[in-house]
Amino acid sequence: MLMRTDPLRGLDRLTQQVFDDRAGTRSRPAAMPLDAYRAGDEFVVAFDLPGVDPAAIEVNVERNVLTVKAERRPVTTEQPVELQVSERPAGVFSRQLFLGDALDSDRINADYDAGVLTLRIPVAERAKPRKIEVGAGPGTREEVDA
């Protein structure tokens, strides 16, 4: 049996639910923590979504706005239980990122493993550095008269 040792923990939990953004509702989703970095020719964004069913994750791109929405549902069992402690936030989580024109939003790759949603967004070909050949224009070459 799991015992509560802090008699004020219930009050702390209620305060978190009222004022904290860790648990969200459909009308007011909570933000999810993320890391973002560039690795070679792609940007990588990793969202922490532990305990979320992959079927409850939505990733959408509209224009240059990437939206990730997920829902963590409370654990259900086949038999009735008496909940002793509930500290894992449940509800709807959402995050929007604005993608620059230098990213190829048509080729985003999404993977979910060990509670982390990882998005890989390639840099667009038009944004990659390229070498431009410099040619000689008319009148720049010396001509020799015979």
Residue 11: what pLDDT?
A: 59
Of 70, 64, 56, 43, nearest to 106 (Cα)? 64
Residue 3: what pLDDT?
A: 41
Question: How many Cα atoms within 13 Å fall on the side-chain side of residue 82?
Answer: 3
* Cut 0.75: pTM above it: no
Read off the pLDDT of each residue in 75-84 and give the average, rounded to a whole number: 82
Read off the pLDDT of each residue in 22-36 and give the average, rounded to a whole number: 69
pLDDT tens-digit series, residues 87-97 = 777 888 899 99
Which of the listed CATH numbers 3.20.20.100, 3.30.379.10, 3.40.50.300, 2.60.40.790 matches domain 22-74+88-126?
2.60.40.790
